[in-house]
Amino acid sequence: MSEPNESVVREVTICNKEGLHTRPVMKFVDLAQTFESDVSVRSLESTEIVNGKSAMELMLLCATFGTVLEVTATGVDAARAVEALTALVVDEFSLDLPNT
């Protein structure tokens, strides 16, 4: 069994034009909630750390195009969570795909 509470941190830059807006926020939250780990997000422009599973807090990050985010996951599936969430950001939140 690997470390139960390992923390994984990775930086990622918002690269979609509209930034962390309603649709990206919900994609992020929906994905984050599929993991058991706690997910927190910090914008490097501020010191505030928000819950990556909170639709309201992520919106309050005010992460526009070009903002660098630090995504941290803590828990059993931390590595997978960070991998998937940063990929989502890099992938511009797969915005061409319709919402469920």
Given the rule CB under 8 A, which residues bind another protein? Answer: 18-19, 21-23, 25-26, 29, 51, 53-57, 59-60, 62, 64, 98-99
Q: Is residue 21 annotated as a catalytic residue, yes or no?
A: yes
Nearer to another protein, 62 or 68 (CB): 62
Q: Kindly name the residue from 6, 7, 18, 21 that is annotated as catalytic.
A: 21
d(CA 14, CA 10): 13
Q: Could you tell me if 26 and 37 are in contact, meaning their C-beta atoms sit under 8 angstroms apart?
A: no
CB of 82 to another protein, least distance (A): 20
- Cα distance between residue 11 and residue 43, in whole Å: 9
Q: Which is nearer to another protein, 3 or 44 (CB)?
A: 44
Q: Which of 28, 17, 6, 8 is nearest to 87 (CA)?
A: 28
Instruction: Point out the residues that are catalytic.
Output: 21
